[in-house]
Amino acid sequence: MNYIFLDTCVLLDVSTKRSDLPLVSALEELVGSSNVKLVLADLVVEEYERNKESVAKKTAQRLSQEFKQVKAVVNEFAGEKQAETMEVLNDINARLPLLTEANYATIHRVERLIESAKIILISDRSKIAAVQRGLEKRAPFHISKNSVADAVIIEQFYEFVSSLDSNYETCIFVTHNHNDFSSTDHRKPHVDFDEIFSISNSLYFNNLASAIDHIDPGLLAEFEFEHDFTEETRGLREILDAMDELVDKVWYNRHQNRMWGIEHGEIEVIPEGTERYGSDVIHEHILKGAIKSAERVEGKYEDIGPWSDFEWGMINGKLSALRWVLGDEWDMLDT
């Protein structure tokens, strides 16, 4: 059995970095197997719950700020290509809310991983050992900061790994906080942790990717390959173009129904200025404009019907969905 003991910073990083999505997928795959178990100190879970929202918001703010900076540079230096470049930037800007929401989807996945983990309570021994580290200025107290939480977490890891059967069980400590835990070579633990990591079944990694590769070489590469081919969020221009086509086709179908009604005497064509209105009449000038618009649609698209009930339902559903994405209420099908 392989146990993966994560520091809080690892959970927060994979929750907010799009580039780390393969790590989340690989960790889900490992935890779903029978020989890997995620282990978290209750303090880690508390820290994650306390910080996940603010980290997600900071990520959104960073994206927005970086976009503004790029836009300012383009405005100043793009020259004759400014209009073309700004169109691309505006398309990216329209995606920012969706990218921000993607953070929360990843956070939800990490929360499910936490629910599946073995949660261990911080013991009195770990608290006392952490205080002793502080008094002796040993890592993680070797730098000028309050590292009590880090000290408690590493001592709890020590206690947990000491309880395992070294012949059959391995525990891997993973942290991205190399300042507090790593030596000059960030891949190795600080010498003040030699007592902990000299245990044969105790391993140290300064990044989750290396830990996953140690357990299952090649697994992470598979998920990276899959994410490389994951479809990106649609651009605003692409969404608007699709909406325009759907609006044209919905309108055209309604126009054809109206023409059928005229041919069969269900709709009366009346002179312009006649003060009669309703679904059973159409004024001459409106019909003339509609026929001209229908010719434009016929020249623009190859597929303009007639459609089966299923196809017609799909067209209306697509239009409703795209409008909902851009802020309309569901079932908004006005043309």
Are the CB atoms for 38 and 4 separated by under 8 Å? yes
Do both 80 and 150 map to the same domain?
yes
More confident residue, 314 or 53: 314
Query: Do 219 and 310 belong to one domain?
Result: no
Beta-sheet strands, E only, within the chain: 2-6, 36-41, 118-120, 170-174, 202-205, 268-270, 281-283
Are 20 and 161 within one domain?
Answer: yes
Looking at residue 55, what is its pLDDT?
72
pLDDT on residue 44: 96
Q: Are residues 81 and 225 in the same domain?
A: yes
Give Cα separations from 168 to 104, 165, 179, 202 (angstroms).
Answer: 37, 6, 31, 12
Given a contact cutoff of 8 angstroms between Cβ atoms, the answer to whether 40 and 120 are in contact is yes
Task: Measure the CA–CA gap between 306 and 311, rounded to whole angstroms.
Answer: 9
What is the dihedral sign for C-alpha 296, 298, 302, 307? positive
Looking at 88-92, 174-178, 242-246, 273-277, which range is the least confident one? 88-92
Residue 62 has what pLDDT? 62
In a domain, 51, yes or no: yes
Give CA 139 to chain center in angstroms. 35
Please give the pLDDT value at position 52: 84
The tokens for 60 are 């959104």
User: Of 229, 261, 287, which residue is a domain's last?
Assistant: 229
How many whole angstroms separate alpha carbon 216 and alpha carbon 257?
62
Summarised one tens digit per residue, pLDDT across range 210-220 is 999 999 999 99
Same domain? 248 vs 209 = no
Domain around 264: 236-326
Residue 332 lies in a domain: no
- 260: exposed, middle or buried (C-beta count within 10 Å: 0-12, 13-18, 19+)? exposed
How many domains does the chain fold into?
A: 2
- In the listed set 229, 254, 279, which residue is the last one of a domain according to the structure? 229
- Regarding whether 276 and 213 lie in a shared domain, the answer is no
Q: Are residues 48 and 90 in the same domain?
A: yes
Any domain includes 65: yes
Q: How far apart are CA 218 and CA 229, in angstroms?
A: 17
Cβ-contact 142, 191 below 8 angstroms: no
Helix (H, G, I), strand (E, B) or coil at 328: coil
Please state, rounded to an integer, the average pLDDT across all residues of the chain: 85
Q: Are residues 90 and 141 in the same domain?
A: yes
Final residue before a domain boundary, out of 193, 211, 229: 229
Share in percent of the chain as helix, strand, coil (round to 5): 65, 10, 25
Q: Is the pLDDT of residue 279 over 90?
A: no
Question: Residue 70 has which token pair?
Answer: 């790029």
Q: Is residue 161 part of a domain?
A: yes
Highest mean pLDDT among 36-50, 247-261, 266-280: 36-50
Say if 17 falls within a structural domain.
yes
| DSSP class per residue in 176-218 | S-HHHHB-SSTTSB-GGGHHHHTSTTEEEESSHHHHHHHHSTT
> Is the domain of 261 the same as that of 183?
no
pLDDT at 154: 97
pLDDT of residue 95: 57
- pLDDT at 81 > cutoff 80: no
95-132 pLDDT, tens per residue?
555 555 556 778 889 999 999 999 999 999 999 999 99
Q: Is 86 exposed, middle or buried (0-12, 13-18, 19+ CB in 10 A)?
A: middle
If phi > 0 it is left, if psi is from -120 to 50 it is alpha, else beta; for residue 280 that is: alpha
Residue 93 belongs to a domain: yes
281 and 154 share one domain: no
Amino acid, single-letter form, for residue 119: I
Does any domain span residue 87?
Answer: yes
pTM of structure:
0.62
The verdict on residue 38 lying in a domain is yes
- Same domain membership, residue 165 and residue 261: no
Whether residues 211 and 256 share a domain: the answer is no
Report helix, strand or coil for 170.
strand
